[in-house]
Every structure is written in structure tokens, then in C-alpha cells.
Chains A and B, each alone.
Chain A
């Protein structure tokens, strides 16, 4: 099992350009998450999904869009990149049964990250 993979590993954009980050997981997890990591600020949740076809906003969603068309993939889009979006982006996935309330907190498994520089 590859676990959680992210594509690309590194990208440089100019202000105003768009791009899509791809996250894939092979653990059949229902929940998927996108975080950004900035120095001194830990990880902040951008968007998340509780199952195929669902998305929800996290703590810092502005400037980002997401889609979960397939259970194993979670895409993060930047429509018009800004220098403030320079960051390291992490994807994570966690177990859960769609349509059934999960009373616990599933462990999140992380990808290796995508380093994005916006000039």
C-alpha cells in the first residue's frame, strides 16, 4: 500500500495562475483533509470531505476549492494564486463509515506534502 500520495511535490506559480493539487489514498478511507503548514502556525485545515461527493470548509478555506469525485482522490484547487498561498500543503485521510455516525475520532494518515511557492 502506498498510503497517501500527493502530486506534485513542488511547484512554483506566478500570481494569478491556477493549479490543482492531487491527493490519493489507497486505504479505502471515507474522510479526507487538506491542510496548509506555515512556520509557527502548525497545520490549519483548509477543506475536508466525509465521503465521495461531499466537501466542507475548514478553518482557512478562502482562495481554495476542492472536489471529491472519487472516494480515493481529493483535489485542491487554487483558481488565482496569491503570494499569501505560499505554503506547504498536506493531505490526510482517515477511516469512517459514510452514512453511519462515527462516535470516535479516527486517526489521520498524512501524505508527504506539496511545497508551493507563489511569486
Chain B
């Protein structure tokens, strides 16, 4: 069965520092990969997605992610974190022919210190 692993439950970074959130997926087929962000008390907002082509994808709010097939990874990065980036981040994977269902990771909570 497909699964998504986000190994970091909680990460704290200083404002202005760089950020990398890890995501690994486990399945043999070609994945469609997503990163969503959830602010406290809110729904999930799409940050970026990867379907095919260039393995480095740009998203909203200055985020980017790189797909590495050899490592089954889709890590999220931001060069300089802002205090407003404090939120929970979810990685998700989907596959063709499955009614666009997604399997989510357990999330990484980002805390930003000033």
C-alpha cells in the first residue's frame, strides 16, 4: 500500500534561516506529489505540486520542492523563513486511475523563532 513518511514531527527555525522539510513516499508507480500548508484552525492550502517534467517545482509563498526518484523523496525548501510561515505542513501522494485520492503524511509542525 502506498504511504508517505514525514520523519520530522516538529521543526524550529529562526526567522531568516533556511528551511527543509522532508518527505518520502513508498510505491513503485509514478507519483503525483503535493505539499499543503495548514495554519492553526484553518483548512489545507496547496503550496505546490509535481506531476512530471522539471524535478524542481516552484510554489507559492517562496517555497520550492525537489523530486528525487532515486531517493523516493520530495523535500520542501525555503531559503529564508518568515514568522508567518509557522504552520503545519503536509506532504501527499496520488496515483493515476485512483479518482485523485491522496495519501497524506502525518505532517511537520514548523515553529519560527524571532
Contact bitstring A81-92, B, C-beta under 8 A = 1, else 0: 000000000101
Query: Cβ of A40 and Cβ of B100 under 8 Å apart?
Result: no
Known contacts A42-B107, A110-B43; A104/B102 CB under 8 A? no
Main DSSP-derived SS at the B contact region:
loop
Query: Cβ of B99 and Cβ of A96 under 8 Å apart?
Result: yes
For chain B, residues 1 to 43, give those with C-beta under 8 angstroms from any C-beta of chain A: 4, 9, 32, 34, 36, 41-43
* A interface residues, tally (CB under 8 Å): 30
Known contacts A40-B9, A108-B102; A113/B42 CB under 8 A? yes
Which residues from chain A contact B34 at a C-beta distance below 8 Å? 107-108
Task: List the interface of chain B (C-beta within 8 A of A).
Answer: 4, 9, 32, 34, 36, 41-46, 49, 51, 90, 94-102, 104-107
Which residues from chain A contact B101 at a C-beta distance below 8 Å? 33, 45, 48, 58
Tell me if A1 counts as interface (CB < 8 A to partner B): no
Q: Which 6 A-B pairs have the closest CB atoms?
A: A105-B32, A105-B94, A110-B43, A106-B100, A42-B104, A42-B106
